[in-house]
Amino acid sequence: MQDIYEKYYWQNDKVRLRAHRPEDKCGDYPYEEDLDSEMWALCSEEMVLPVAAKETRTSDEIARNEKPPAFAIENLAGDYIGSIRFNEINERHGTFEIGLMLWRDYRNKGYGKSAMKIVLEYAFNERRLNKCNADCIDCNSASVYLMNSLGFTHEGRVREDIFFNGKFHDRLLFGLTANEYNSRHI
């Protein structure tokens, strides 16, 4: 039997990116309703309120909204392990941002870095974008480690900018240019 993923662009030695499916779940919860509040708070920097009603849209309706691309992340065994998306793309300036979420059981295993490499490769070398901007809350040590391991430069700190878990935290700013990425990863 032929391996359909043998030459699949959206895959590397750890993860595969694909479109989200209605059946994607983390445990007993669909990905949009994952109750890992800490993850959602660290990604969106806000408290996530309980879901009241689920909005359903067809893939055609989603495509017409022209939102930046988003992907489900699965490991090579086919387990749905998280989500990665472009949060913002500015074609004029060549800048973009990436949002990454991994379900708790799959963190600190290299999956996030592998997924980021696929998306960065696409953004820099297929879309011809020039710079990825990133920020995270100062207590999110996993994101800081990830940014450093991918070669992002710590570009600044916005002091006491985020109220989280009962106190104010700094927002850390990172950036990675296409030249920096390609000199390190190609």
Mean pLDDT by runs of 10 across the 186 residues of the chain is 68 93 65 51 52 47 62 94 93 95 93 97 95 95 96 98 93 97 88
pLDDT score for 3 = 59
pLDDT score for 23 = 82
pLDDT score for 36 = 56
pLDDT score for 8 = 83
CA 69, CA 50: separation in Å to the nearest integer? 25
pLDDT score for 39 = 58
The pTM of this model reads: 0.78
Burial class (CB in 10 A: 0-12, 13-18, 19+), 14: middle
pLDDT score for 66 = 58
Domain ranges of the chain: 15-185
Alpha helices in the chain (DSSP H): 37-44, 59-64, 111-125, 141-150, 178-185
Backbone angles phi, psi at 64, to 5 degrees: -65, -25
Containing H/E element for 123? helix 111-125
For residue 33, what are the CA distances in angstroms to 95, 106, 141, 154?
30, 17, 24, 32
pLDDT score for 34 = 47
CATH superfamily placement of domain 15-185: Gcn5-related N-acetyltransferase (GNAT) (3.40.630.30)
Coil, strand or helix: which one is 156? strand
Give 53's Cβ-side CA count (13 Å radius): 3
pLDDT score for 176 = 98
Containing H/E element for 101? strand 95-102
CA 2, CA 93: separation in Å to the nearest integer? 42
pLDDT score for 5 = 61
CA 34, CA 156: separation in Å to the nearest integer? 31
Token duo for residue 98: 């990436």
